Structure 1
Amino acid sequence: MTDQRVTVVTGASRGIGAAVALRLAREGHDLVLGYRSDEEAARQVAEQVRAQGRRCVTVQADTTDQSDVERLFGAAAEAGLGPVTGLVNNAGVPGPYGPLAEADPEGIRRSVDVNVTGYLLCARAAVRAMTETGVAGSIVNISSGAATLGSPGEYVHYAAAKAAVDAMTVGLAKELGPRGIRVNCVAPGTVWTDFHPDPERPAKRAPNIPLGRCAQPEEIAGAVAWFFSPDASYATGAVLRVAGGM
């Protein structure tokens, strides 16, 4: 990897994505922050990144739209940041909450599209960018503990999509290993963010977690940052569960 690290973070305006952006900034990354709709929140994250002495640009993008993805990755060059060396695939939506039989079909489709197609399109763009510049970069996908727990009665469709992310991580790591591009995955458990339709869901789930609490976004960001660090130079195809024992 080049000395200059330029990382694209999707879904960077809030929650895990915002925490990841700030952690990577502290560790020397310049950033392209992708966001879907909350321009003000993205601007605030960018200000915090710049306050740490790092360069940063924000881009409004729907990761399921190929032209938006191309614009997202092109922003690094346009802003003079240099070649993209990393991607954090984080943008996601839960979709309908409740039993699958009661779920809205369009909501299911949107969840799968964002959580699977969006990840694939962004990974594709990252690989093309890294290959073009000869960068031995790193991709980190954000999955979920739901991928193996199934999330019955809540998000079966979301769990299925995140299982696809795990499979994508393993397959792409094997595909890209010969090029020196590492692909890994962090699978969080329940995290205190505004991702949940029921704001009290983390509190309700905490008693059933072996550690007795839900995670803070910064704890997930720490795991993501490790995969970008020299200490993880031999890690690829790994799915790191950060779920409090679940």
Structure 2
Amino acid sequence: MTDKVLVVTGGSRGIGRAVALRAARAGWRVCFSYVAAKDAADSLVREIEDLGGTALAVRSDVAVEADIPALFEAADGLGTLGGLVNNAGVVDHAARVDEMTFARLHRMMTTNVVGSFLCAGEAVRRMSTRHGGQGGVIVNISSVAARLGAPNQYVDYAASKGAIDTLTTGLAGEVAAEGIRVNGVAPGLIETEIHASGGQPDRLARLGPTVPMKRAGTADEIAAAVLWLLSDEASYATGATLTVSGGR
């Protein structure tokens, strides 16, 4: 499909890992970021190389301003940037809004929102025909939490994903005539480690049966939607956020 470079933030585990693998199979050269999971990152690089693909793991925290241009400069070494998947994000322990601290909110918004904005800017400067680029695609990972609000859980996370939905809509309008499509994917309950990182390792077991399809989704099911949006089959789709939630 392509021999261009795809940047995936937060690519060593979960949805990011599944996207990286599917992208490599589709012919993308994959540059993905990770923060602490070096063993998982190295393992993913080996797996992609075993498939005959090209992958580069870069230690980069999207909450650290200097790490973002460094990630894209590393990707430049693989070739011409053709896509970005803004996947990196954090969640926190369940709390009400009146229990949330400045530190918690700063971490949440810096990682989930500011990092995505800055990564999108780096991608646009490389891909936009206005800047001499050849066009490309950006896919932002949102969440159904943006619509549900996540009361008594993490309204801050939900709000950060609402901001991502607005980024998708607004940026799509800015760059539609510059060869760049911008879309989003809003997962529902997905089998990843993010639930345990928020102190709820049993969350899928508790909530899975409440989903209309009676189960949680898989990271690969989300990756399939992302790869469709990255592909030429989605050539007339921009400014859209695709919900993949089992009906939730």
TM-score of the aligned structures, taking structure 2 as reference length:
0.95
Partner of residue 204, structure 1: 206
**C-alpha distance in 1, partners of 2:73/2:81?**
9
Q: Is the CA contact 1:141–1:186 (under 8 Å) kept in the aligned structure 2?
A: yes
Identity %: 46
8 Å CA contact 2:31, 2:75 repeated in 1: yes
Contact kept? 2:2, 2:27, Cα under 8 Å: no
- Structure 1 residue 102 displacement after superposition: 2.1
Cα separation, 1, equivalents of 2:29 and 2:51: 10
> Which sections of structure 1, spanning at least 5 residues, go unmatched?
none
Q: Which amino acid aligns with 2:43?
A: Q
Q: Which residue of 2 aligns with 1:229?
A: 231
Q: Secondary structure at the match of 2:81?
A: coil
* Partner residue in 2 for 1:36: 35
Note if contact 1:9-1:32 (Cα within 8 Å) is conserved in structure 2: yes
- The offset of 1:4, in angstroms, is 2.2
2:159 equivalent in structure 1: 160
Answer whether contact 1:9 1:33 (CA < 8 A) is retained. Answer: yes
> What residue number does 1:101 align with?
98
2-structure distance, mates of 1:149, 1:240: 15
**Range with greater deviation from structure 2 (99-108 or 28-37):** 99-108
* 1:55-134 mapped onto 2 (5 Å cutoff): 55-78=54-77, 81-131=78-128, 132-134=131-133
Bigger shift: residues 233-242 or 69-78 = 69-78
Q: How far apart, CA to CA, are the structure 1 residues paired with 2:102 and 2:63?
A: 17
CA–CA separation in structure 2 for the residues paired with 1:64 and 1:124: 15
> Alpha-carbon deviation of 1:103?
2.6
Counterpart secondary structure, 1:66 = coil
Aligned residues: 243
Show structure 2 runs of 5+ residues with no match: none
The one-character-per-residue Cα deviations of 1:22-63 (angstroms, maximum 9, x if unpaired) are 011111110101111111111111111111111111100111
Distance 2:153 2:175 in 1: 35
The Cα RMSD (Å) is 1.3
TM superposition shift of 1:130: 1.3
Please give the TM-score of this superposition, normalised by the length of structure 1: 0.95
Counterpart residue identity of residue 138, structure 1:
V
Displacement after TM superposition at 1:133 (Å)? 4.6
Residues 34, 59 of structure 1: 8 Å contact kept: yes
Q: Are the structure 2 counterparts of residues 200 and 96 from structure 1 closer, same or farther at C-alpha, using a change threshold of 3 Å?
A: closer
Distance 1:85 1:133 in 2: 13
